[in-house]
Amino acid sequence: MPRHDSGKQNILSAALETAGIYAVAALLLLAGTFVSPKFLTGDNLLEILAAVALLGIVSAGMAFVTYSGSMADLSLPSIMAFSGIIAVASLPLGLAAALALGVLAGLAVGAMNGFVVGRLNANPILWTLSVAFFMEGFMRFAWSNNQLYPDSAPGTPGAAFIGIFRIGVGIHPPVLRTTPLQGGSGTVPLVVVVMFLMFLLAHFIMTRTRFGRESQLVGSSRATARASGIRVPRVVFLNFLFAAFAASVAGIFLTSMNKLGVFYLGQGYDFKAVTAVVIGGVMLSGGRGRLSGVLGGVLVIGLLSNIMQFLGITAFRQNIVTGLVFIAVVGLQQYQLRAKGRDYA
């Protein structure tokens, strides 16, 4: 069924599409207040944000890959581990150089993915899976399965590197000072700030730039995009590059938090990020979705797991609940789309 909506109408309907996930989030917030009086406090809300910050950063990158029709980048966990290891290994060169090299290492893998998927048209899932395989093998071999510790003596770049995750930014969001949310300690972890910045940047790129629009068309229909003169390989390349960039940033934070670099850091972030992206309303078939929705998806995941921890639900049962909520939310979205006659998936 052809779409005729454009302009205002389009913005409105798009906003409605992401409203759903925020409704779920609001529902969870409400449920949380019944679970424990300590739930709706500044400290706990900040805790939830900090808990999903890394997932949020990775998801913002993954969203680009999904949005542009490449479904998922399964090599993101290995990119996270790799950039972390490289950063720790190059700490003797100074903190700035180490961070730059870490991100560059991640970007290199992303560039390879982008080239192969964009230019050579390889199946993205399978290609990134094979990259995950040989990157794991490579990292295990090159560092003989060992952990890489930064030098943690005070004053060294290593200590500064470990501190990255632990920096609190002293901004005082007014919401933390208002009443039911008392008790906010006033400092927001850097990683949370970076997550929001990453979402802002990603949102800006996706909605306000030519590249973002091109990504949408590539995600909707590669053939149409090519026929209308878009350089598809370039667009796909940049999408994978952005995903790798986000994953490297998250990887460096993760490594800094763990105080060591090792090949298995970041495991599981591939499927977790896809979950957040899809729950946030980005279609796996590409070309549809918004980053505000992805942020909502990330928040829902954080709220859900926090509430379950408050309830004392064990990890095994949490898995089951998360899976059920995931399928239910996506099923509802699908149902809504179909009701509007927009079921192209």
Q: Nearer Cβ to other proteins, position 106 or 150?
A: 150
Taking CB under 8 A as the rule, does residue 47 contact other proteins?
Answer: yes
Write down the least CB distance from residue 104 to other proteins, Å: 22
Q: Which of 71, 97, 108, 205 binds other proteins (CB under 8 A)?
A: 71
Write down the least CB distance from residue 274 to other proteins, Å: 7
Q: Nearer Cβ to other proteins, position 51 or 193?
A: 51
Write down the least CB distance from residue 233 to other proteins, Å: 10
Number of shown-chain residues binding other proteins (CB under 8 A) = 77
Write down the least CB distance from residue 267 to other proteins, Å: 8
For 27-80, the DSSP string reads HHHHHHHHH-TTTTSHHHHHHHHHHHHHHHHHHHHHHHHIIIII---TTHHHHH
Cα–Cα distance measured from residue 279 to residue 55, given in angstroms and rounded to the nearest whole number: 13
Q: Which of 87, 88, 206, 278 binds other proteins (CB under 8 A)?
A: 278
Packing angle, helices 95-114 and 76-89, rounded to 10: 150
Write down the least CB distance from residue 96 to other proteins, Å: 24
Q: Nearer Cβ to other proteins, position 26 or 324?
A: 324
Site string for other proteins, 108-147 (x = CB under 8 A): --------x---xxxx-xxx-xxxxxxxxxx-xx--xxxx
Cα–Cα distance measured from residue 83 to residue 247, given in angstroms and rounded to the nearest whole number: 9
Q: Which of 151, 257, 336, 342 binds other proteins (CB under 8 A)?
A: 257
Q: Which of 156, 207, 221, 258 binds other proteins (CB under 8 A)?
A: 258
The residue to which tokens 């080239």 are assigned: 115
Q: Nearer Cβ to other proteins, position 38 or 208?
A: 38
Q: Nearer Cβ to other proteins, position 133 or 204?
A: 133
Contact window for other proteins (CB under 8 A) among 1-9, 195-203, 234-242, 257-265? 257-265
Q: Nearer Cβ to other proteins, position 80 or 107?
A: 80
Site for other proteins in 205-244 (CB under 8 A): none
CB atoms within 10 A of CB 16: 11
Site string for other proteins, 179-198 (x = CB under 8 A): ------x-------------
Query: Going by C-beta distance under 8 Å and a sequence separation of 6 or more, which residues neighbour residue 261?
Result: 81, 84, 85, 86, 87, 88, 89, 147, 148, 150, 255
The residue to which tokens 């639900």 are assigned: 313
> Residue 60 to residues 130, 143, 200: CA-CA distances in angstroms?
23, 30, 10
Taking CB under 8 A as the rule, does residue 336 contact other proteins?
Answer: no
CB atoms within 10 A of CB 99: 22
Taking CB under 8 A as the rule, does residue 342 contact other proteins?
Answer: no
Torsion of CA 268, 164, 63, 121, to 10 degrees: -80
8 A C-beta contact, residue 298 and residue 22? no
Taking CB under 8 A as the rule, does residue 271 contact other proteins?
Answer: yes
Instruction: Look at residues 114, 103, 134, 107 and name the one whose alpha carbon lies nearest to residue 73.
Output: 114
Site for other proteins in 296-325 (CB under 8 A): 305-306, 309-310, 312, 314-320, 322-324
